[in-house]
């Protein structure tokens, strides 16, 4: 093998040697938990361009790796999603240069032809690689065009064309590929999950070399595990010719294909999983968690007939790591298969079914989106379908929008309202839906219910945009679908929906003022909407029955707690109710007064602190909304409290509950970051029950910050040790950008570029440096020092100092960039890009993160008598959890400790 000797490729080759090779497995090709794999390419042209890219990657994998017989450079591919005429591939941000090097690597020893030329272009942040004569098929790369172009421009054999196009002409050379060879490479690229195992990648590289050389030597033999994975129809059928070229039947000494497990089609749609001798039922109403599958209805029906359905979507990770999730996925797919039968019967077999469609910028996935063409207008048309296995349900007393589902008795949002919320959210978020009325509709299908058993759902609160259908109304349901979808292929419409541009999120504070003065601007979904309705129901019940109800809404960072609180506040204020909003955060309260109550003294007076209700009249308010309620304290007494009040002080929880007929608490127990903060679900529910009060509890599970990335949320919990087990590697999911900086200078430069481009960015840090008062000349002291880099903390007081805003406005005022924020000024806020400097109070030792309270400069941790080491450890971890979850689009990390920096790099 000849080797490329350019500087960049030599650097890459040495980067992945020895122990570093093991760390590089984080870049190994893997199917992220939101991607779908279809069968092979849709056309010969598509197989041609896919195989051209695949061939280059495989050859470069050998050329750029170390000189060992069985090692290959991992493919820098993070996720794969097939489209009708293209393949969407996600390349990790920190591997773009490596991908460019592999794309341009050449190997003259396999020559014989000039090689295929690739055309590289970019539009809307999607890089397209195509063969010049196959313009109708493409490989689309989701990566940084700037970094890819810069890397390609320095590579040999790259021509720069007009219009921002590049032509790669110096790539790997090979003799003409046989059709089955191209199809096999395309099939393997679509099964790229295999390459998470280095043995599978090594075999495929060897197999590709064998196929290219037309050698008569023995075909490379895959291991038993690779053979088993290739042979299963997990991702759809493979043609006999492709299978023969890849495998040529079981090799001598290899295990035969394992017998297919019973698929379990038909019968009870509930799937059971046994653990420890007990069997728990998995509800088929669970969405396809972490899985998006796009198939035409007729294709799905065929897969079911062939018994390939469970293996198709379960993937290797689900049965091994989470049997319950695997069972839920199979149950949901069987439910989808039933809908596919209905579509085929209705003459809509070519309509595309997008199962587990992800709502943009959230972790929520909807059951089903049907994509097709409107029978009258010829425009793209979409129908959101929520499939429910409910058999008995009735409206909750006092509310048209909440229902009780039997036999469990759980309170749920009316399914028509749920689907209507999805439609409105998608219309706001996706560019493809912003033009053209009526492009998206919804429907709830209770496929096992009779009219008489869910009659109240059908008669109360009819919603034309998203009607409810039962088993008895199946024909009406099919007529509804025919009215919005024609018997024309929906592949193009599905592609346009999946690749649509996404509108920016609505910043909480930017819309909060309009929320209170005009109308609702926040789109509340599922549990969020249910919490909102429970509060309004409790207000009516308190007025009509003189009955106090405590409402608790619990959820993690970015779950929408504050949006719920402001939505309730706005609605009740417009109704003329007496309502107030209180927090335990000075920064959050001051910011709300500034941005929401600007120019309106009455609005400003609605925002108070949670220690402001010592003298409030009993039930003097209709509703008191306590945001950041985890910051509740034992009493409201502070150093400014007069002695007469101090002597008759009550517990703060009692003051807040007594102050309103409906006290509402919004909290996240894992955001308690300092001693004395006592707010918890246990504290509030125990107090309410001791006094015989009604209590409603809603738990929010979705993520509306951090790009809606559940994977990032799990990675943070794993890293900080709030989940059991070792910290896991970040493999990405295409939703959130996680990076490491080599220095604080690099972090600041990156975030400065984002800030200059109109995005918001901030740098925060652990409280590991002293916090000085301003100097006599009114300048800030650069207390946060890391090597030669130094910046001041944010201003201590509410008064601005020079161009630096007061502490309450550090996160929202553009002047806040340039100072370093702490957990006390960052908590409760969000910005597009978050830089976090991890100080010496959190370091990695022996493969895990440990805290060192002695390195913290926070005065709250000085006394071991007041704060135990165990409590300090919890507070410090919670503080970094808060800091790492402020970013909407991405987070950049840097640790001042070299060992911790290396540890973090090994987990990314």
534-544 residue pLDDT tens: 998 989 888 88
Q: What is the pLDDT of residue 69?
A: 52
Once rounded to an integer, what is the mean pLDDT over residues 471-480? 93
Residue 92 pLDDT > 80: no
How far apart CA 428 and CA 137 sit, in angstroms, is 30
Residue 412 bridge partners (DSSP): 403
pLDDT of 331-377, one tens digit each?
Answer: 677 778 888 889 999 999 989 888 878 888 787 888 889 999 999 98
The pLDDT value recorded for residue 494 is 84
CA–CA distances in Å: residue 816 to residues 23, 583, 821, 885: 36, 22, 8, 18
Mean pLDDT, range 78-90, rounded to an integer: 70
Cα–Cα distance between 850 and 837 in angstroms, integer? 16
Please choose, from the candidates 605, 455, 392, 583, the residue with its C-alpha nearest in 3D space to the C-alpha of residue 516. Answer: 605
**Tokens of residue 390, six digits:** 């409910």
Name the phi and psi angles at 207, rounded to 5.
Answer: -65, -40
User: What one-character DSSP code corresponds to residue 78?
Assistant: -
Could you identify the residue written with the tokens 């400014």? 640
Tens digits of residue pLDDT in 763-786: 999 999 999 999 888 889 999 999
The more confidently predicted of residues 340 and 601 is 340
- CA 708 vs. chain centroid, Å, equals 3
Top-confidence residue, 849 or 703: 849
Average pLDDT score over residue span 187-214: 70
Q: For residue 500, is pLDDT > 60?
A: yes
Residue 226 has pLDDT above 90, yes or no: no
Which of 14-18, 209-213, 329-333, 529-533 is predicted with the least confidence, judged by mean pLDDT? 14-18
How far is Cα 9 from Cα 100, in angstroms, rounded to an integer?
10
Average pLDDT score over residue span 832-850: 92
The whole-number pLDDT of residue 250 equals 33
Stretch among 113-122, 603-612, 634-643, 823-832 having the lowest mean pLDDT: 113-122
Reading across the β-sheet that carries 621-627, which strands appear in turn? 607-609, 579-583, 621-627, 660-667, 549-555, 694-700
**More confident site: 7 or 794:** 794
124: left (phi over 0), alpha (psi -120 to 50) or beta: left
pLDDT of residue 285: 35
Q: What is the pLDDT of residue 842?
A: 94
pLDDT bracket for residue 634 (50, 70, 90): confident
Mean pLDDT, residues 397-402: 83
With pLDDT > 70 as the criterion, what percentage of the chain qualifies?
74
- The answer to whether residues 469 and 443 touch, using CB atoms and an 8 Å cutoff, is yes
Cα(206)–Cα(69) distance, rounded to whole angstroms? 10
Which pLDDT belongs to residue 624?
93
Q: What Rg do the C-alpha atoms of the chain give, in angstroms?
A: 29
- 195 pLDDT above the threshold of 60: no
Query: Which pLDDT does position 463 carry in this prediction?
Result: 60
Q: What is the pLDDT of residue 307?
A: 62
User: CA-based angle 153:196:134, to the nearest 5?
Assistant: 45
Sheet holding 820-821, edge to edge: 737-740, 887-895, 831-838, 761-765, 820-821
Nearest residue to 230 via CA among 188, 281, 267, 270? 188
Element (H, E) at 402: strand 402-406
389 contacts: CB under 8 Å, gap ≥ 6: 269, 270, 283, 284, 285, 335, 446, 447, 448
- When pLDDT is cut at 50, 70 and 90, the band that residue 704 belongs to is confident
Higher per-residue confidence, 104 vs 884: 884
Mean pLDDT of 861-890: 89
Query: Tens digits of per-residue pLDDT, 22-71?
Result: 322 322 222 222 233 334 566 777 777 877 888 888 888 877 775 545 56
pLDDT tens track for 652-701: 899 999 999 999 999 888 888 888 888 888 999 999 999 999 898 988 87
CA 636, 637, 641: angle at the middle one, nearest 5? 125
Cα 664 from chain centroid (whole Å): 28
Mean pLDDT of 243-256: 46
The encoded tokens of residue 601 equal 């003294």
Nearest to 206 by CA among 108, 107, 61, 28: 61
Tell me what pLDDT residue 231 has. 58
Nearest to 818 by CA among 838, 795, 840: 795
Mean pLDDT of the chain: 76
Residue of 831 and 142 predicted with greater confidence: 831
pLDDT surpassing 70 at residue 518? no
pLDDT confidence of 446, banded at 50, 70, 90? very high
Query: Does pLDDT of 528 surpass 70?
Result: yes
**Which of 864, 843, 831, 833 lies closest to 768, judged by CA?**
843
In this structure, of 94-103, 418-427, 617-626, 756-765, the range with the lowest mean pLDDT score is 94-103
What was the pLDDT predicted at 738? Answer: 87
Q: What is the DSSP letter of 177?
A: P
How many Å separate Cα 631 from the centre of its chain? 27
Across the range 376-385, mean pLDDT stands at 92
Which range is least confidently modeled, 147-156, 341-350, 830-839? 147-156
Residues 152, 104 contacting (CB under 8 angstroms) = yes
DSSP-derived 3-state class of residue 30? coil
pLDDT of residue 650: 87
Phi, psi for residue 470 in degrees, rounded to 5: -115, 180
Kindly report, residue by residue over 846-868, the tens digit of the pLDDT: 888 999 999 999 988 888 888 88
Coil, helix or strand for 534?
A: helix
3-state SS, residue 271: strand
d(CA 577, CA 543): 11
Q: Which string of DSSP letters, residue by residue, matches 290-342?
A: T--EEEEHHHHHHHHHTT-HHHHHHTTHHHHH-HHHHHHHHHHHHHHHHHHHH
Residue 318 has what pLDDT? 34
The pLDDT of 876-890, averaged and rounded, is 91
566 has pLDDT over 90: no
Q: How confident is the model at residue 882 (pLDDT cuts 50, 70, 90)?
A: very high
Query: Would you say residue 651 has pLDDT above 80?
Result: yes
Distance CA 456, CA 679 (A): 38
Q: Which helix (H) or strand (E) holds 52?
A: helix 44-63
- pLDDT tens track for 255-309: 223 222 222 222 222 222 222 333 223 333 333 334 466 777 887 777 677 665 5
């Amino acid at each position: 093998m000849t080797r490329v000797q350019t500087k960049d490729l030599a650097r890459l080759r040495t980067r992945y040697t020895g122990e570093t090779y093991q760390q590089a497995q984080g870049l190994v090709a893997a199917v992220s938990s939101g991607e779908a794999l279809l069968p092979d390419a849709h056309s010969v042209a598509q197989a041609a361009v896919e195989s051209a890219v695949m061939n280059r990657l495989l050859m470069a994998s050998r050329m750029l790796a170390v000189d060992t017989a069985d090692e290959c450079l991992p493919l820098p591919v993070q996720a794969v999603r097939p489209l009708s005429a293209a393949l969407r591939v996600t390349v990790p941000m920190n591997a773009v240069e490596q991908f460019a090097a592999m794309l341009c690597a050449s190997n003259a020893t396999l020559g014989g032809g000039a090689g295929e030329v690739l055309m590289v272009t970019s539009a809307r942040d999607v890089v397209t690689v195509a063969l010049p004569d196959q313009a109708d098929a493409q490989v689309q790369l989701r990566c940084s065009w700037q970094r890819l172009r810069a890397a390609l421009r320095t590579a040999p054999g790259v021509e720069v064309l007009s219009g921002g196009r590049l032509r790669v002409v110096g790539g790997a050379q090979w003799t003409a590929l046989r059709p089955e060879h191209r199809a096999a490479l395309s099939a393997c690229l679509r099964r790229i999950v295999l390459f998470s195992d280095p043995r599978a990648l090594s075999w495929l590289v060897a197999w590709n070399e064998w196929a290219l050389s037309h050698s008569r030597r023995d075909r490379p033999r895959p291991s038993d595990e690779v053979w088993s994975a290739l042979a299963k129809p997990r991702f759809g059928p493979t043609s006999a010719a492709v299978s023969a070229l890849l495998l040529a039947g079981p090799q001598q000494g290899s295990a035969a294909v394992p017998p297919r497990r019973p698929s379990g089609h038909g019968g009870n749609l509930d799937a059971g999983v046994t653990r420890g001798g007990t069997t728990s039922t998995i509800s088929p109403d669970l969405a396809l968690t972490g899985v998006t599958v796009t198939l035409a209805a007729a294709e799905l029906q065929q897969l079911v007939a062939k018994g390939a359905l469970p293996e198709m979507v379960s993937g290797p990770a689900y049965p091994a790591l989470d049997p319950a999730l695997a069972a839920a996925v199979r149950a949901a797919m069987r439910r989808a298969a039933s809908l596919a039968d209905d579509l085929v019967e209705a003459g809509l077999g070519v309509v595309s079914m997008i199962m587990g469609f992800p709502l943009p910028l959230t972790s929520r996935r909807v059951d089903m989106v049907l994509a097709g063409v409107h029978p009258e207008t010829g425009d793209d048309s979409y129908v959101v379908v929520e499939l429910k296995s409910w058999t008995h349900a009735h409206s909750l007393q006092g509310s048209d929008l909440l229902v009780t589902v039997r036999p469990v008795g759980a309170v749920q949002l009316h399914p028509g309202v749920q689907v209507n919320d999805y439609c409105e959210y998608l219309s706001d978020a996706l560019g493809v839906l912003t033009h053209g009325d009526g492009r998206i509709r919804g429907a709830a299908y209770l496929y096992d219910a009779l009219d008489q058993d869910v009659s109240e759902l059908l008669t109360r609160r009819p919603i034309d945009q998203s009607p409810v259908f039962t088993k008895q109304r199946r024909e009406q349901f099919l007529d509804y679908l025919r009215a919005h979808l024609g018997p024309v292929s929906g592949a193009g419409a599905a592609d346009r929906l999946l690749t649509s541009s996404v509108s920016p999120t609505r910043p909480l504070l930017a819309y909060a003022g309009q929320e209170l003065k005009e109308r609702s601007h926040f789109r509340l979904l599922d549990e969020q909407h249910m919490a909102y309705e429970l509060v309004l129901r409790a207000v009516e019940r308190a007025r009509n029955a003189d009955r106090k109800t405590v409402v608790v809404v619990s959820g993690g960072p970015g779950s929408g707690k504050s949006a719920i609180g402001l939505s309730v506040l706005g609605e009740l204020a417009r109704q003329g109710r007496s309502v107030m909003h209180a927090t335990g955060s000075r920064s959050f309260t001051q910011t709300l007064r500034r941005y929401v109550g600007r120019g309106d003294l009455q609005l400003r007076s609605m925002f108070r602190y949670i220690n402001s209700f010592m003298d409030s009249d009993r039930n003097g308010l209709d509703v008191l909304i306590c945001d950041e309620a985890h910051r509740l304290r034992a009493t409201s007494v502070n150093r400014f409290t007069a002695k007469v009040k101090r002597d008759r002080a009550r517990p703060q929880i009692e003051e807040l509950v007594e102050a309103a007929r409906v006290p509402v608490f919004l909290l996240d127990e894992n955001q308690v970051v300092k001693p004395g903060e006592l707010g918890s679900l246990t504290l509030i529910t125990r107090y309410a029950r001791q006094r015989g009060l009604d209590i409603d509890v809603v738990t929010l599970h979705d993520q509306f910050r951090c790009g809606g990335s559940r994977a990032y949320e799990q990675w943070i919990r794993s890293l900080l040790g709030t989940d059991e087990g070792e910290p896991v590697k970040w493999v990405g999911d295409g939703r959130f950008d996680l990076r490491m900086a080599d220095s604080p200078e690099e972090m600041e430069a990156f975030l400065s570029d984002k800030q200059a481009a109109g995005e918001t960015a901030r740098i925060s840090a652990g409280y590991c440096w002293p916090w000085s008062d301003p100097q006599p000349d009114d300048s800030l002291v650069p207390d946060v020092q890391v090597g030669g880099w130094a910046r001041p903390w944010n201003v201590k007081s509410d008064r601005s100092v020079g161009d630096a805003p007061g502490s309450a406005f550090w996160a929202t005022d553009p002047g806040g960039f340039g100072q370093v924020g702490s957990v006390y000024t960052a908590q409760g806020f969000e910005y597009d890009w978050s830089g976090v400097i991890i100080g010496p109070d959190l370091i990695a030792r022996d493969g895990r993160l440990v805290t060192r309270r002695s390195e913290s400069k926070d005065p709250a941790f000085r006394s071991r008598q007041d704060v135990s080491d165990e409590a300090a450890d919890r507070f410090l971890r919670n503080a970094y959890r808060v800091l790492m979850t402020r970013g909407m689009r991405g987070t950049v990390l840097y640790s001042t400790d070299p060992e911790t920096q290396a540890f973090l790099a090994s987990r990314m």
